[in-house]
Structures are given as structure tokens and as C-alpha cells.
């Protein structure tokens, strides 16, 4: 294990020593950059193809009615996927569906939709069923509950809903995540091992229909608007689904997962219902208590907690164990705000995992070097030009009669490596590959622009704003600490 952690330092030392005596020292440093930049891709590729999803054993007792689903939400207003999310969960037949709202008005609006959605499901007329050609739901067994905490805090809302749970498994879902019809049945086998306490699921972004032309605008303007709309939909999709590649690979390699996405996860109830967890969950601070409590990063906290307390994590990656999300429909405005929040989360949480908690060093050593560290320093805008510039200084390049071909080959290689994690999207939608990746390489505008965003968030990581969604202002704050089994007002 020690060798697994010192290999990079040994590689750097060996490179420096060899470069001192080499006739082409820049070639040695170029080789080092090539390995340093892409070793994780090679490792992850190997384990990506070795991954196997969990399948139910012969004797498997967990059923969908052993699950309570918690949905922290602001309500259906302004959420076009709310109905689809609602119907998708009910179609999976959990025992409970618990909406935890930030306001009482939000809860009343949800309550007003209940009977209508249930009637549609039983008649087979819901948009969710029509789109997927699903039969009517003969009988809806799910009991729907609505609670409110009067504060726009996903952590507070989740903890409040825990009081309503009596099942052995809890699923937490975003109010924008749409489940597959057999999602729970496909995901529950991951709990076949008693050691598994937390299960992550595959994410996919819906390819949105392009907007209809506006008769008041010119052909050129309409064409541009359509292209721009599709660009941000594809960018958001490839940005998010690359997490599937990394989580699947690291989970197969050493059981690690950088983060079990809060968009939907399943966890054993006793883990999150423990008072010690709830207190820590609601009272996460940074910089010695000077920054916080943190509302965002809830999924990072849960992942770290489960791993550091000796439990196992399983990433269930299959077509049925998939959630669908809508992203990039507003010209990228909300998505960029979400990227800021996600990047700040990385800058806050990865150092905690590596320097304060440290469990991953011995439990998930490959995940440390293929995910946790690279996500802190990966900035394509810095590394890619540095690699090309170093190559141009080598004697191999300087003395070559085919410099243009060598440069084109190197740039082509760099581009090809960026295709690996996003290949599932472009394989399914090859038209997006032609429009945004190659031969029209506008996809890279975001890749390199994101490097600037990442550097910016490294210096603003203490900004805890939940960017990407407007939260309501609540006039009656109800923040609570959970201690010794009681909710104590702060």
C-alpha cells in the first residue's frame, strides 16, 4: 500500500535524475507530463471494463416496499420535471414517499396534486407512462407524506423526513431526478451484502428537443439559437455523465466512490437515523468552525461518513438503475452556476477527505490517485498547453522534418483522451459529436473555460451559496441541532 502512495514521488525523482544526464531532457519531462496527465485514465479504463453491477442472490428478501423515499423540495412551482419525478417514484412502488418542503405553501401545492397523479398512474395516462409505453399501475401501494421545516436547507429537510421512516432502506431523491420504471428493483440487489450501507446510481441527462423556429427572427438567428441550445444540453450531459465512468471504475478497483450523488442514493436507515450522524450532518463547519454550517455538500458528507465508519459503498451502474435529469435548457446560465457550486464543493471536501479524515488512504488508495487528487489540480487550460510546449522544446520535435504532423498527432491524442469519459453520450447521439466535438471542436471552449472557473472557485471555496437554484426567503428560521435524540432550537 505504501508503494501505491509513493510511486508518483518516485516517478518525479526518477524523471529529474534521468533528465540531468539525458541528451534530450525536455523529452524526458514530456514523457513525465504524459504519464502524470493520463495515468489515471489508463487505470480507470482497465477497471471500468472489469466492473460488474450487483445481481440479486438466490435468497434475497429486500423488496421495493422496504424502501422509504425522501424528496427534499421547494415544491412543484418552477420545476417542469416535478410531475415526471413524482410519477416515476410512485411507479416503483416504495412503501413511503415523503416530501420535505421548505414552506407550508409548498406542501399544500404538492398535496393538491396527489389525487390527480395517482389517478393518471392507475389509468395509464400520465406523461411518464405514455412516453415509456408503460401499462397502468394496477394499485398504488405507496403512502405519500408531506412534512415541512420552514427553512430552505436540504440537510434540515432530509433530517426532518427521517422521523417519518420505519423501513430498513431510505432512498433520497432530488425533485428533478426521474427514475426508470424498475429503478428500485434494479438497485436494491446492491444491498445483498450486509457490509454495503450506501448505494449510488447511474446518471443520465435527457437530450432535449430543439426549440421551434421563431417566425419573427431570421433564419440565421434561429439556426444559431438552435445550435446554442443544443450545445449547452450536450455540455451539461457530458459534464455530468463522466461521473458514471469515474465512479464505476474506482468502485471496481478498490470499492471507492469519490461521491455518491445526492441526486439519488440509497442508504441503510440505521446509518442516517443515528443521532450522532444527524448532529454531525447539521453541523458541518470549515476552517475550525469559522465557516458554516454548510448546507451544500450533503452527498459528500454522507459518502465520507459511511466510508470512515467502516461500511462499504456500491455503485450500481446499469440501464435500469438510472436516473434521468434535465440540464442545459436555459442557454447554460443555471448550469454555469451549478458548476461553480460543484467545483467549490470539490475544493472544500477533497482536502477534508485527504487531510482530515484520511480513511481513503488505506481503504481506497487507487481512488485517491485517480480521483481525489486529480480533481484538485486538473485544469486542462494549464496542463495541455504545458504538454504541447514541452514537446516543442524536445530535440525530437526540433530536428524533425514533420513538425506539423507531430503537433497534430499530439493534439489529436489529447482530444481523444477527453472523448473517453463522454463516449456513451456521443455514441448514442453521434450528431452531437459532429456538431460540437469533431470536426467542429466547440466542446473544448467549455473544457478550457472550466479551468478558469475551477481556479476561481479554489480561491472562493468558502462561498456556501447554493448557486443554480433560487431558494425562497423564509421569515421563520427553524434551524435545529439534533442532540441526544431531541431537536433543540439553536
Could you report the per-residue pLDDT of 310-319, keeping only the tens digit for each? 999 999 999 9
* Exposure of 463 in the CB half-sphere (CA atoms within 13 A): 14
Residue 486 — pLDDT band, cuts 50, 70, 90?
very low
pLDDT for res 332: 80
Judge whether 174 lies within some domain: yes
Residue 334 C-alpha cell reads as 443555471
Residues 6+ apart with CB under 8 A from 343: 453, 454, 457
How far apart (Å, rounded) are the C-alpha atoms in residues 7 and 261?
30
Over 80: is that where the pLDDT of 396 sits? yes
Closest CA to 308 of 197, 173, 199, 188: 197
Kindly state whether residue 315 falls inside one of the protein's structural domains: yes
Q: List the CATH number of the domain containing 292.
A: 3.90.550.10
Residue 347 lies in a domain: no
Q: Which of 22-36, 193-207, 308-322, 468-482 has the lowest mean pLDDT?
A: 468-482
Element (H, E) at 145: strand 143-148
The answer to whether residue 154 sits within a structural domain is: yes
- Across the range 64-90, mean pLDDT stands at 94
Lowest-confidence region among 132-136, 309-313, 336-340? 336-340
**So what's the pLDDT on residue 488?**
35
Average pLDDT, whole number, for the chain?
Answer: 90
With respect to residue 14, please indicate whether it lies within any of the assigned structural domains.
no
End-to-end CA distance of the chain: 45
- What's the pLDDT score for residue 475? 40
183 lies in some domain: yes
Which comes out higher in pLDDT, residue 264 or 78?
264
In a domain? residue 165? yes
Q: Is the pLDDT of residue 469 over 90?
A: no
Strands 169-173, 67-73: pairing kind: parallel
**Measured distance CA(4)–CA(24) in Å, rounded:** 29
Strand partners, 365: none
Domain region containing 218: 64-333
Supply the pTM of this predicted model.
Answer: 0.90
Number of domains in the chain: 1
Looking at residue 87, its pLDDT comes to 95
316 vs 190: CA distance, rounded Å: 7
**Comparing 176-185, 226-235, 402-411, 465-474, which segment has the lowest mean pLDDT?**
465-474
Q: What is the pLDDT of residue 290?
A: 75
CA dist., res. 319 & res. 225, Å (int) = 32
Q: Give a yes or no: residue 458 inside a domain.
A: no
Cα–Cα distance, 276 to 111 (Å, whole number): 32
Amino acid at each position: 500500500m505504501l508503494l501505491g502512495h509513493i510511486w508518483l514521488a518516485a516517478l518525479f525523482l526518477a524523471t529529474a535524475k534521468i533528465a540531468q544526464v539525458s541528451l534530450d531532457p525536455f523529452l524526458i519531462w514530456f514523457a513525465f507530463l504524459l504519464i502524470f496527465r493520463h495515468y489515471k485514465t489508463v487505470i480507470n479504463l482497465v477497471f471500468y471494463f472489469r466492473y460488474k453491477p450487483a445481481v440479486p442472490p438466490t435468497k434475497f428478501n429486500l423488496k421495493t416496499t422496504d424502501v422509504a423515499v425522501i424528496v427534499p423540495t421547494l415544491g412543484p412551482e418552477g420545476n417542469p420535471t416535478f410531475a415526471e419525478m413524482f410519477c416515476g417514484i410512485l411507479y416503483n412502488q416504495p412503501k413511503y414517499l415523503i416530501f420535505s418542503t421548505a414552506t407550508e405553501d409548498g406542501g399544500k401545492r404538492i398535496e393538491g396534486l396527489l389525487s390527480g397523479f395517482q389517478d393518471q398512474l392507475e389509468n395509464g395516462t400520465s406523461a411518464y407512462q405514455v412516453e415509456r409505453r408503460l401499462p397502468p399501475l394496477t394499485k398504488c401501494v405507496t403512502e405519500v407524506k408531506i412534512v415541512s421545516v420552514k427553512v430552505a436547507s436540504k440537510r434540515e429537510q432530509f433530517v426532518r423526513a427521517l422521523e417519518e421512516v420505519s423501513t430498513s432502506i431510505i432512498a433520497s431523491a432530488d425533485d428533478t431526478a426521474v427514475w426508470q420504471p424498475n429503478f428500485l428493483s434494479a438497485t436494491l440487489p446492491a444491498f445483498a451484502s450486509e457490509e454495503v450501507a450506501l448505494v449510488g446510481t447511474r446518471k443520465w441527462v435527457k437530450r432535449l428537443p430543439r426549440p421551434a423556429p421563431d417566425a419573427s427572427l431570421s433564419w440565421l438567428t434561429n439556426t444559431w439559437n438552435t445550435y446554442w441550445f443544443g450545445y449547452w444540453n450536450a455540455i451539461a450531459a457530458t459534464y455530468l455523465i463522466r461521473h458514471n465512468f469515474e465512479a464505476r471504475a474506482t468502485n471496481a478497483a478498490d470499492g471507492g466512490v469519490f461521491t455518491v450523488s445526492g441526486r439519488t442514493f440509497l442508504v441503510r436507515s440505521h446509518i442516517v437515523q443515528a443521532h450522532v450522524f444527524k448532529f454531525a450532518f447539521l453541523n458541518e463547519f470549515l476552517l475550525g468552525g469559522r465557516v458554516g454550517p454548510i448546507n451544500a455538500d450533503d452527498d459528500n458528507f454522507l459518502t465520507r461518513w459511511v466510508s470512515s465508519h467502516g461500511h462499504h459503498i456500491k455503485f450500481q451502474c446499469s440501464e435500469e438503475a438510472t436516473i434521468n435529469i434535465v440540464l442545459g435548457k436555459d442557454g447554460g446560465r443555471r448550469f454555469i452556476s451549478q458548476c461553480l457550486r460543484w467545483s467549490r464543493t470539490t475544493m472544500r471536501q477533497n482536502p477534508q477527505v485527504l487531510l482530515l479524515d484520511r480513511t481513503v488512504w488505506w481503504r481506497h488508495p487507487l481512488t485517491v490517485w485517480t480521483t481525489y487528487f486529480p480533481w484538485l489540480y486538473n485544469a486542462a487550460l494549464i496542463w495541455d498547453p504545458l504538454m504541447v510546449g514541452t514537446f516543442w522544446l524536445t530535440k525530437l520535435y526540433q530536428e524533425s522534418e514533420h513538425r506539423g504532423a507531430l503537433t497534430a498527432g499530439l493534439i489529436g491524442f489529447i482530444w481523444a483522451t477527453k472523448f473517453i469519459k463522454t463516449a456513451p453520450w456521443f455514441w448514442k447521439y453521434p450528431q452531437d459529436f459532429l456538431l460540437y466535438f469533431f470536426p467542429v471542436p466547440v466542446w473544448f471552449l467549455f473544457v478550457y473555460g472550466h479551468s478558469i472557473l475551477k481556479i476561481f472557485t479554489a480561491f472562493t471555496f468558502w462561498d456556501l451559496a447554493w448557486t443554480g437554484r433560487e431558494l425562497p426567503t423564509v421569515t421563520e428560521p427553524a434551524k435545529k441541532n439534533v442532540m441526544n435524540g431531541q431537536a433543540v432550537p439553536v
